[in-house]
Structure 1
Amino acid sequence: MVAAHSVACEVGIMKHWKIGIVLDSAKPSLGLHGLHVAFNGLPNVQVVGYVDSNEQDIEQKLAVCHAQKHYTTLEQMLDSEELDIVVICSRNPADHWPMIKPIAQRGIHMYCDKPLTLSLKEADKIIALTQKHQVKMCIAQPIRNALVFRTMKTMIDAGEIGKPLTAYGRGKCDHRGGAEDLITLGIHLMDWQRFLFGDPQSVWANISQDGKPITASTRIETVEPIGPLAGDSVMACFNFANDVRGLFESRRGLFDMQSGYIHMGLTVVGTKGTLSLRFNDSLKPVYDLRISRLPAPPEDQAAYEPVKLHETREIPGAEPLDESLCGTRNIPREPFILQANRYSAWNLIQCIENDQQPNCTPHHARNALEMIYGVFAASLSGKQVSFPLTGYETSDKSMLDNGVIDLLLRP
């Protein structure tokens, strides 16, 4: 089966997009990111199929995303429906490739949650597969589509804080703090810094566990199924073009829900001021994008004021965003993620129609993952590591067991 979108676009017929959703609630998860409602309210969209092996409350699940029919397996839906796009909602990267392969082979486009994969070799396979079958794939990185992050980039590019010097990024620093935080949430910070400053040139890093540097045999138990991993504390420094440095830090157990303070976010210091944004979801108060227009170091005399956001993007014929969904099952509390999903979905549709690439592709996801690989490689080798990495092609194993680590540790 091949998605039949091109003919309709070529002759100017109004295209009705047929969407399939895969959200298997039978699998344990810390909570999903609302991808299943990304296409809600968009013009000329029909959610024709919904895959969930768990039939409990299925009518309610179908109603939330306006789905017409329930399937218990992906194969059933692919065999029964003429789909244009499939939404892969799982946050577990190990789930992605087994779904991506049959979807791409049928010429169907995809919207997929992050992290795309934990293997650079698998990321390259995904890229090659989507290119071979000429399908578009958008990765759900809210950095590239939520207004607040785009405003931050616009202000930096316009010189609002002068020349950027250093970006200070932190993970959530909760019970997953350290290496797991680097992967599950740090992937946002990696993509965020690349979005602002381009590809990194090199990285220095230190990963420790119980106060001692990790070795190739160190292991730590993870909350989510993303091992093998090591390290409960991570510090990394990336070098970007124009002498910009980007930091990432995560320590286990710093997050205190009762305090309401958020560690996760990015502060960009420039020669004329500072921009700061916390990646907030479930806690109050919500920290908006803030700017300090003082050239002093931010830890001394920064005087922050909120930045007003102005949305200029429009989706012709779209219904208003239903923010009442925020905080319901598998949908984050803060509207910016709902907004980012909507604009990601619309961007994907527009790119299919115009044969362009979405603004967050498997290439972007792969390059953010490469930054994480670089952190492990730099810490284990005790050396500054340059990008692009080499040697990872020798192994399918993830992270610490990957070939790039073995290569860099050889005498």
Structure 2
Amino acid sequence: MKRRTFLTIASLSLLVSKLPAKASRSRRAAVIGHTGRGNYGHGLDVVWQKIPGVEIVGVADADSKGLQKALDRLKIERGFSDYRKMLSELRPEFVSVAPRHPDQHMQMALAAIENGVKGLYVEKPFCRTPAEADHILNAAEKHGAKVAVAHRNRYHPTLPIIDKLIADGEIGRLLEIRGHGLGDRRGGGEDLWVLGGHVFNLFQRFGGEPESCSGTILQNGKPVTRKDVVNGAEGLGLLAGNEIHARWRLNSGVTASYTTFAEDGSDKKGYAARLIGTKGAIAIHIDRDPIAWLCPGNPFDPASRSNDRIPITSAGLSQTEIQPGLIASVHDHTLAIQDLIDAVDDDRDPLCDGRQGAMAVEMTCSIFESHLQNGAWVPLPLTERDNPLSRL
């Protein structure tokens, strides 16, 4: 078994063992949300109620009605319209930067770090540009804060099982990784920003860091030009296109590709990363149970692919999932939060740390940069740290 696989299994096992236990000391957490401007992500507020020994000491929300609802939901009394005031008065140890709109993330994260917060859990997308990511990561390093990003599938206990299947030759030689967006009305630029990061995180997990990118952005079948660039919904900043094609060369030698189309007719079933090998393929479906399936047989030879797909669970290949509580702790972020707490205590990086969130942002912007250069391969990290569409 690969050393990385062993360490991941060991780390997850340790986390699971701590979930039902009482914390050794009381921890103070606070929540930053913004009703009407990204709200509270996918449960990034209430997750702290599920961690033993954690006290939620305050919540900040600039919307007064939303703030009152959050106070009721969290069963606490201290609410603030200004998150900076909350951070300076309460001095929490941990914070959720919960709004889905990433245009607020950098300032919220910086304020938390500068007020002594030791662990931040940030909703995806991490931020809007590599420059914003640089500011957050530099501040975290300077102040000794740990940053985790809510690409929750990274914590899934089935991923080490997939590692072992690959190491054991179950799909032969890994040739490439293919990703696909959700394919609803947001297909293209919005789908890329809002959902693509989950797939890109799996590219990193199984193929390594991206070294270069080639990408094309289309609007109704034609290459995007300046007139197609818009200010995106959900605070995403500049985006464009209803069809995107991209490839990355990863440092493992494998190439990863990603496509997203608006209303592609897939009934939202294509949202996945697929590991393509010479003897089979493994599809990893985002936020679904079971998360992964093995497709036996040479994927390039229809005659060899008559076998049914085989589910992969945390118990192994073709095994019934025996840890539904553990899987639920992935979906509701409790496993990630426990890992963040342990990362602070052990002075280590979280399993899905800020650098990985930043890389998902960089991969997104690398598509835009390549499009500006007519699809040329552009090296990563990017030299220009802004949103390349601002220069189209």
- TM-score norm. by structure 1 comes to 0.79
| Residue 297 of structure 1 pairs with residue 300 of structure 2 | yes
AA partner of residue 269 (structure 2): I
Query: Displacement of 1:221 after TM fit?
Result: 6.0
| Residue 252 of structure 1 pairs with residue 252 of structure 2 | no
Shift in alpha-carbon separation, 1:247–1:156, aligned structure 2, 3 A: same
CA contact (8 A) 1:88 1:110 kept: yes
Shift in alpha-carbon separation, 1:288–1:139, aligned structure 2, 3 A: closer
AA partner of residue 377 (structure 1): E
Query: Displacement of 1:337 after TM fit?
Result: 5.0
1:80 alignment partner, SS class: helix
Shift in alpha-carbon separation, 1:307–1:215, aligned structure 2, 3 A: same
Q: Superposition RMSD on alpha carbons, in Å? A: 2.8
Aligned residues: 360
Give the whole-Å Cα distance in 2 for the aligned partners of 1:118 and 1:299: 42
Query: Displacement of 1:304 after TM fit?
Result: 0.5
| Residue 125 of structure 1 pairs with residue 135 of structure 2 | yes
1:40 alignment partner, SS class: helix
Query: Displacement of 1:63 after TM fit?
Result: 5.2
CA contact (8 A) 1:237 1:248 kept: yes
Shift in alpha-carbon separation, 1:107–1:157, aligned structure 2, 3 A: farther
Shift in alpha-carbon separation, 1:274–1:61, aligned structure 2, 3 A: same
Query: Displacement of 1:131 after TM fit?
Result: 0.9
Query: Displacement of 1:225 after TM fit?
Result: 2.7
Unpaired runs of 5+ residues, structure 1, are 1-12, 312-319, 324-333, 406-411
Give the structure with the higher percent strand.
2
| Residue 52 of structure 1 pairs with residue 27 of structure 2 | no
| Residue 114 of structure 1 pairs with residue 88 of structure 2 | no
Match of residue 186 from structure 2: 176
Match of residue 263 from structure 1: 270
CA contact (8 A) 2:177 2:276 kept: yes
Shift in alpha-carbon separation, 1:126–1:154, aligned structure 2, 3 A: farther
Query: Displacement of 1:288 after TM fit?
Result: 4.1
Give the whole-Å Cα distance in 1 for the aligned partners of 2:334 and 2:380: 32
Alignment of 1:125-144 (within 5 A): 125-144=135-154
Match of residue 6 from structure 1: none
Match of residue 350 from structure 2: 358
Match of residue 208 from structure 1: 218
1:228 alignment partner, SS class: strand
1:49 alignment partner, SS class: strand
| Residue 100 of structure 1 pairs with residue 109 of structure 2 | yes
CA contact (8 A) 2:372 2:388 kept: no
CA contact (8 A) 1:274 1:298 kept: no
Of 87, 90, 115, which aligns to 1:78?
Answer: 87
Give the whole-Å Cα distance in 2 for the aligned partners of 1:387 and 1:18: 42
Shift in alpha-carbon separation, 1:224–1:57, aligned structure 2, 3 A: closer
AA partner of residue 101 (structure 2): N
Query: Displacement of 1:133 after TM fit?
Result: 1.1
AA partner of residue 50 (structure 1): V
| Residue 152 of structure 1 pairs with residue 167 of structure 2 | no
Query: Displacement of 1:177 after TM fit?
Result: 0.7
